[in-house]
């Protein structure tokens, strides 16, 4: 990226620094920055210290345009999530490529469609219907435990973390006793910058950070190696059996790809749903009128689900890199340029969403980009919405009132984040 030629496109240094500050994602500063960017420089270049420069894509239309053009904007050529130069250098030394794992997220065609096709049918509404009764059982048990807490709980700890975790682990085929291990590994993978979830709490050097992440991946790998061996000997009706026995071009899936596949299902399959579920309750606890509206109109629950996903947008960004010189929003993108797709900004875009800073369960249409867009649209979107709908169908009719009971805390992370503490008070009907 030619510094002299693009200086007029540069984002102010303080704004660029906020974009790479994990703590900014735990409060409103990131939304202040997104709002400023959409209004003043919706497609500008950030040059924060220690990072390669990157384009910051903040408008809904531009995010969709990049996401539609998978040949022009690749996932795998450069890091798929924002990574500083020192960590990227370490990762390349370890793996020979820019990413520690090689899941669907880090793939381009022709591999991406082949690998996605292996499990896509599992996550379609027609197949998910057979899990609905079991998901409702899990939701009822979860709600019963919450209501036993006597009018107050930490909704994240007591409901939002465990419920989607239990659902996806049943579908995947992980025994219930191993769920705490999967939760811990997920938090270490997605929250490496958060002092509460990082494996090592001091400020991490690139070497220490890479080593920490490598050890998390190694733990996943060791665990799922045992699952693979078992499912090859004893196939079952679960997703692990599909992954363990999958063939790519007539051969077994390479072990690193297999570990990555398990990992994306075992982590993204619950962490983001937890955040959106908590986000809905947080919004309703802050707005008694909205809570009363949804309670009086249960048919609004699907809308509540979509609005909560827009509101929280747990996956804050993915990165893409240009495979050729091109133009976007009247700006010249050069081959090799790196772009940050700011989904949470797109989901507050004033050109698309009326009153974007208000939580509205009856928002129609709700064309949010929280699940991505195009070929990489989230595989688990229907499952996430199904789980949330069922939980709220079971929970909201039981509640007479709902309010916050202390300070809400968000995780500090610029990739995936959401509430980590949500103390609430509630009265029962």
**pLDDT tier at 360, thresholds 50, 70, 90:** very high
Model-level pTM? Answer: 0.95
Q: How many CA atoms lie within 13 A of 53 on its CB side?
A: 21
pLDDT tens for 242-257 read 999 999 999 999 999 9
Residues making up the chain, counted from first to last: 429
User: Residue 197: is its pLDDT beyond 90?
Assistant: no
| Span 338-363, average pLDDT | 98
The three-class DSSP label of residue 78 is coil
| Span 86-98, average pLDDT | 90
What is the C-alpha separation between 52 and 277, in angstroms, rounded? 35
If one counts every other C-beta atom within 10 angstroms of the C-beta of residue 408, the result is 18
27-30 contacts at long range (C-beta below 8 A, 24 or more positions apart):
27/410, 30/316, 30/344
Q: What percent of the chain has pLDDT over 70?
A: 96
**Residue 83: φ, ψ to 5°:** -140, 135
Q: Which domain holds residue 337?
A: 3-428
Domains of the chain: total: 1
Q: How many CA atoms lie within 13 A of 199 on its CB side?
A: 17
Q: Which residues contact 417 (CB under 8 A, 6 or more apart)?
A: 25, 26, 190, 191, 194, 275, 314, 316, 410, 411
Q: Do the beta carbons of residue 229 and residue 235 sit within 8 Å? A: no
What is the C-alpha separation between 394 and 389, in angstroms, rounded? 9
CA dihedral 414, 417, 418, 419 (to 10 degrees): -90
Residue 196 sits in a domain whose CATH number is 1.10.630.10
């Amino acid at each position: 990226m030619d510094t002299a030629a693009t200086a007029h496109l540069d984002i102010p240094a303080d704004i660029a620094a906020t974009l790479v500050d994990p703590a900014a994602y735990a409060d409103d500063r990131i939304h202040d920055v997104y709002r400023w960017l959409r209004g003043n420089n919706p497609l500008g270049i950030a040059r924060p210290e220690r990072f390669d420069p990157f384009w910051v894509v903040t408008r809904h239309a531009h995010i969709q345009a990049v996401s539609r053009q998978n040949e022009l904007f690749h996932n795998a050529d450069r890091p798929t999530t924002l990574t500083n130069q020192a960590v990227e250098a370490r990762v390349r030394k370890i793996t020979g490529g820019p990413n520690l794992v090689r899941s669907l997220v880090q793939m381009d065609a022709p591999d991406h469609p082949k690998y996605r096709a292996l499990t896509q049918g599992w996550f379609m509404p027609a197949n998910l219907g057979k899990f609905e009764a079991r998901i409702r059982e899990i939701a009822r048990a979860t709600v019963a435990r919450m209501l036993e807490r006597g009018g107050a709980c930490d909704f994240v700890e007591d409901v939002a973390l465990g419920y989607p975790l239990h659902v996806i682990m049943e579908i995947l085929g992980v025994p219930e006793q191993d769920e705490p291990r999967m939760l811990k590994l997920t938090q270490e993978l997605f929250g490496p910058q958060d002092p509460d979830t990082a494996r090592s709490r001091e400020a991490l050097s690139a070497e220490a950070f890479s080593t920490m992440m490598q050890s998390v991946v190694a733990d996943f790998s060791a665990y799922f190696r045992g699952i693979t061996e078992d499912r090859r000997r004893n196939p079952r009706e679960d997703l692990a059996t599909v992954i363990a026995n999958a063939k790519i071009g007539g051969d077994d899936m390479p072990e690193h790809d297999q570990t990555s596949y398990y990992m994306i299902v075992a982590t993204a399959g619950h962490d983001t749903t937890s955040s959106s579920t908590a986000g809905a309750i947080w919004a309703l606890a802050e707005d008694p009128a909205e809570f009363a509206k949804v309670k009086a109109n249960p048919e609004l629950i699907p809308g509540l689900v979509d609005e909560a996903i827009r509101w929280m947008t747990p996956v804050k960004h993915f990165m893409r890199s240009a495979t050729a010189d091109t133009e976007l929003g009247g700006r010249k993108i050069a081959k090799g340029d790196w772009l940050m797709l700011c989904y949470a900004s797109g989901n507050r875009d004033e050109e698309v969403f009326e009153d974007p800073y208000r939580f509205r369960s009856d928002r129609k249409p709700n064309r949010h980009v929280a699940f991505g867009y195009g070929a990489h649209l989230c595989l688990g979107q229907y499952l996430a919405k199904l789980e949330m709908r069922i939980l709220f169908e079971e929970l909201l009719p039981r509640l007479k009132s709902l309010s916050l009971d202390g300070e809400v805390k968000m995780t500090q992370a610029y990739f995936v984040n959401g509430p980590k503490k949500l103390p609430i008070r509630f009265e029962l009907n």
